[in-house]
Amino acid sequence: MYTFNPGPSQVYPEVRDYLTAAYDEGWLSAPHRGEKFTGMMRQTILDLKAKLNIPQDYTVLFMGSATECWEVLTQSLTPTRSHHLYNGAFGEKWFEYARAQRPASTGHSFGLDELPDITDLPLGDDTDLVCITQNETSTATQLRDGFILNLFNKLGRALLAVDATSSLGGIQLKYIKADVWYGSVQKCFGLPAGLSVMVLSPRAVARMRQINERSHYNSLTAQYEKILNYQTTHTPNVLGLYLLHRTLQDRAPIKFIHQQLQERATKLYDFFDGATQLKPLIQNPETRSTTVVALQAAPAVIEDVKRRALQQGLQLGSGYGNLKANTLRIANFPAIPDAAYEQLVQFIARDFA
């Protein structure tokens, strides 16, 4: 069975061996203040920076989920308000959550085949954080490097925070073009859910120290101070961290993974742009996601494709939110082998051309 669900998604087959090793090596009961754990954390951070090309002066933190990252960023980096640009459910949820905590926060939605207009952003001196979703899982759209750079150059004192949940670990990101990046491991890292990674620029760390918010167990300041000793503010997901540690050691550098995913995405879009009953939801090549491909058709066709694909051992991802009935989604994540996509294309070409 291959699963193309965009999250939680297919895990690397080696995870089975990692789980056995975690038990045999005593990680399931390892104290999280001990040298064994802190040594593993130190190596994991080194490997993340090396494999993902994260600058050495950036800080890596670990949390429970991307949703927790929303909370921490609102608590610790947004004393007044944030401004959100979004075109899908997850970017909008981030905005709604931030507004619930900081009512002055504002948002702007844009179309699926559009790029946001950044010429006249409503950013005053009281805007603490500008928030974007680099890869919107619900709509299969993507904001590319050029847009992020142009936005970053217009922000003034505001920090730029990027939700990269569906691309972190799969696409080569230019971390110096934003202040905060975060994502969960159950997508491009090919691991079970329950862990997220946050990356902070030196500018974000300086702002965090200036604000010095300490009212929560997961306040950014407290987490930063703990990670200096490779520890966490709370009992962490030791198993999840161990699995990340092991899989990073076996992964290729991000430039090779990026190239593989880009080539696969190009082939998938070329195929579905052709004569099939399924058509790409996103028409503009500049806004199409590399790691999540959304396809549209009549609801009856969508249900028929998913049902018959499952009979072939292919689990396709459903559409999300108001796109659920007439779309399906295909994850293009590193843990899914090329053979799975070859089987999928053959199935569609045979039964739905």
Question: What CATH number did the domain enclosing 31 receive?
Answer: 3.40.640.10
337 phi-psi bin (left φ>0, alpha ψ -120 to 50, beta other): beta
Same domain, 188 and 89: yes
Is-contact 223 232, C-beta < 8 A? yes
Smallest CA-to-CA distance from 91 within 112, 120, 118 is with 112
Same domain, 225 and 342: no
For residue 272, the domain's CATH number is: 3.90.1150.10
Is-contact 211 76, C-beta < 8 A? yes
Same domain, 217 and 277: no
**pLDDT one digit per residue (tens) for the chain, 353 residues:** 999 999 899 999 999 999 999 999 999 999 999 999 999 999 999 999 999 999 999 999 999 999 999 999 999 999 999 999 999 999 999 999 999 999 999 999 999 999 998 888 888 889 999 999 999 999 999 999 999 999 999 998 999 999 999 999 999 999 999 999 999 999 999 999 999 999 999 999 999 999 999 999 999 999 999 999 999 999 999 999 999 999 999 999 999 999 999 999 999 999 999 978 999 999 999 999 999 999 999 999 999 999 999 999 999 999 998 899 999 999 999 999 999 999 999 999 998 87
Same domain, 221 and 261: no
Q: What is the pLDDT of residue 276?
A: 83
Beta bridge partners of 82: 129
- The residue from 234, 250, 266 where one domain ends is 250
Beta bridge partners of 83: 106, 130
Same domain, 204 and 270: no
Same domain, 195 and 244: yes
Compute the radius of gyration of the chain from its Cα atoms: 20
Helix (H, G, I), strand (E, B) or coil at 126: coil
Q: What is the pLDDT of residue 110?
A: 95
Same domain, 166 and 124: yes
Same domain, 167 and 280: no
- The residue from 207, 232, 250 where one domain ends is 250
- Number of domains comprising the chain: 2
Same domain, 132 and 274: no
Smallest CA-to-CA distance from 326 within 283, 296, 352, 305 is with 296
Q: 293-297: which pairs have CB atoms within 8 A and are 24 or more residues apart? A: 293/140, 293/265, 293/268, 293/269, 293/329, 293/330, 293/332, 294/139, 294/140, 294/319, 294/323, 294/327, 294/328, 294/329, 294/330, 295/327, 295/328, 295/329, 295/330, 296/323, 296/326, 296/327, 297/326, 297/327
DSSP type of residue 192 = -
Smallest CA-to-CA distance from 175 within 149, 205, 141 is with 149
Same domain, 192 and 306: no
CA distance to 12, 207, 214, 276, per residue, from 157 (Å): 41, 10, 22, 48
Same domain, 80 and 92: yes
User: Using alpha carbons only, what angle is made at residue 109 by residues 105 and 111, rounded to the nearest 5 degrees?
Assistant: 170
Taking the CB of residue 146, how many other CB atoms lie within 10 A of it?
12
Domain encompassing residue 263: 2-8+253-351
What is 160-184 written as a DSSP string?
EEEE-TTTTTTS---GGG-SEEEEE
The answer, as to whether pTM is greater than 0.85, is yes
- The residue from 250, 269, 301 where one domain ends is 250
Same domain, 237 and 92: yes
Question: Where does the chain have alpha helices with state H?
Answer: 15-24, 35-52, 66-77, 89-101, 145-152, 202-211, 220-227, 238-250, 254-273, 299-311, 338-351
